[in-house]
Amino acid sequence: MKLSRSLSFALACGLLAGAAGAQATWIVDDDGGPGVHFTNIQFAIDAASAGDVIRVFPGSYTGFTLRKALVIVGQPGETVSVHGQARVRDIDAPYKAVLSLLSAYTWELDDCSGAVLLDRCDGWLPDVAHVHGFSSTACTDVRIQLSRFVGLDLFSNGYMDGGAGVMLSLSRLQLSDSWAEGGQGAAGTFCTGHGYHGGPAVGSIMSVIHVYRSSLYGGPGGDDYGIFCGGKGGNGGDAVAGKSVLVAGQPENVLTGGYGGTGTQGSGSPGRSISSLEARHSGVQMTHQVVASTVQVPDPPDPTLSFKTPQPIAGQPLRFMVHGPQDAIVTLLVGREPVLVAPTALKERRLVTLDQDRSPVGVIDSSGVLITKIELPSSAPHGFTFLVQAEILYPDGETRYTNSLTVVLP
């Protein structure tokens, strides 16, 4: 792999100027103590104004509802556990909400025309009232990275289909470097006999889904009731289902449909890797069927962008890996705000504001990877947020774009 030149933060000067409006920073720690403003996340949200930063220290907290354009950030290497649901609602464009390093039972987003950015946030303990690890309804621009979501297993917990790891309705999602798994469907009841279906890893109603460098596992179908009131096993859940689906990544990334449940009248059908009206996929293992009216498999594959540095730290370089074809020219786009520029369903477009000059940072060699870095200034405050995307000029003259990454300083 090849090392590129770095972008110094003369770049940072422009970005930090945008942050220089010195918003307030609120400290939340369930242990209390000197310098702590609140012991409860919701109280901090209620006190904060748009643009403020809330720093949450390790501990256990109750659920919260966010209706303001805030940055809420936990601590690297520590656990901030939200014992309940984390809700984000009514974030209006052009504002954004940023949440980083938080682990909640489940996540729910509703009616956000502004962007909602989740970084290292997990939804790990759904229940019968909230069966999906993450759900989004009527949200224009949701970006999730380095996160994990699981749907509720219903095999011994109710009479319904398994929960989805991620469930969308009328939303647009970018999912990067993440993992999602659907829950197992419930076993058949004495009345119906048939097993219930497994939940999708990522399911949706009329939504656009872009998946980068992520692995998705549909949930298994439930078995039938048994020999005295038998039926058919439930179908396995799909890895991803949407109106339009774009998938790009590496061979270690897998999209797997869940297996069908067993039954005296036959087993359920396995889930599909992709189920959509239109699909584009490249670089990722598809272990099951891809079912779509239109399917594109670009060659060479679409490019992707990922972190090489585990966690951004003020005063230290932040390294990225750009994955693409040999001899492709890479330009790094860095901006304070997310945008959707002439978005199309099956091809990525520019996703960040252009706050700096566009200049190439290097050329991808035969390894298929270019490493580039940004020098983070030591003066960058807690909660400082910006976005990065790579623009790739392919050897044949075509320009393609990677996923965006959200950088949040804890």
Query: In sequence order, what DSSP letters do the residues of 128-190 get, joined into one string?
Result: TTB-SSEEEEEEEEEEEES-EEEPPP-TTS-SSPPPPSEEEES-EEEEES-EEEPPPPPPPPT
In the structure encoding, which two tokens stand for residue 216, read together?
Answer: 């998705």
Residues 56, 72 contacting (CB under 8 angstroms): yes
Question: How confident is the model over 146-191, as pLDDT tens digits?
Answer: 999 999 998 765 678 999 999 999 999 999 999 999 999 998 876 6
Give the side-chain half-sphere CA count within 13 A for 358: 13
Question: How confident is the model over 317-366, as pLDDT tens digits?
Answer: 999 999 999 999 999 999 999 999 876 778 999 999 987 767 789 999 99
Give the end-to-end CA distance of the chain in Å, rounded to a whole number: 29
86: nearest Cα among 70, 75, 307, 78: 70
Q: What's the topology of domain 304-408?
A: S-adenosyl-L-methionine-dependent methyltransferases (2.20.130)
User: What is the structure's pLDDT at 228?
Assistant: 64
Contacts of 381 (CB under 8 A, 6+ apart): 19, 25, 53, 314, 409
Using alpha carbons, list the distances in angstroms from residue 363 to 233, 306, 323, 391, 395.
52, 17, 11, 12, 10
Q: What does the radius of gyration of the chain's CA atoms come to, in whole angstroms? A: 22
Cα–Cα dist 257/286, whole Å: 9
Neighbours of 87 (CB within 10 A): 17
In the structure encoding, which two tokens stand for residue 132, read together?
Answer: 């999906």
Cα–Cα dist 276/254, whole Å: 17
Contacts of 299 (CB under 8 A, 6+ apart): 282
Contacts of 136 (CB under 8 A, 6+ apart): 108, 109, 110, 142, 166, 167, 168, 169, 171, 173, 207
**Max Cα-Cα span within the chain:** 74
Bridge pairing between strands 254-256 and 285-286: parallel
Could you state, in order of their start, the residue ranges of all structural domains in the chain? 150-297, 304-408
Question: How confident is the model over 270-323, as pLDDT tens digits?
Answer: 999 999 999 999 999 999 999 999 999 999 999 999 999 999 999 999 999 999
User: What is the structure's pLDDT at 190?
Assistant: 65
Segment 90-117 shows an average pLDDT of 98
Question: How confident is the model over 7-36, as pLDDT tens digits?
Answer: 654 555 556 655 545 589 999 999 999 999
Confidence of residue 75 (pLDDT cuts 50, 70, 90): very high
Segment 220-231 shows an average pLDDT of 79
Segment 58-75 shows an average pLDDT of 98
The whole-model pTM stands at 0.95
Confidence of residue 135 (pLDDT cuts 50, 70, 90): very high
Collapsed DSSP state (helix, strand, coil) of residue 12 = helix
Q: Where are the beta strands (DSSP E) in 91-130?
A: 96-100, 103-119, 122-123
User: What is the structure's pLDDT at 393?
Assistant: 97
Share the mean pLDDT of the chain: 92
Residues 166, 176 contacting (CB under 8 angstroms): no
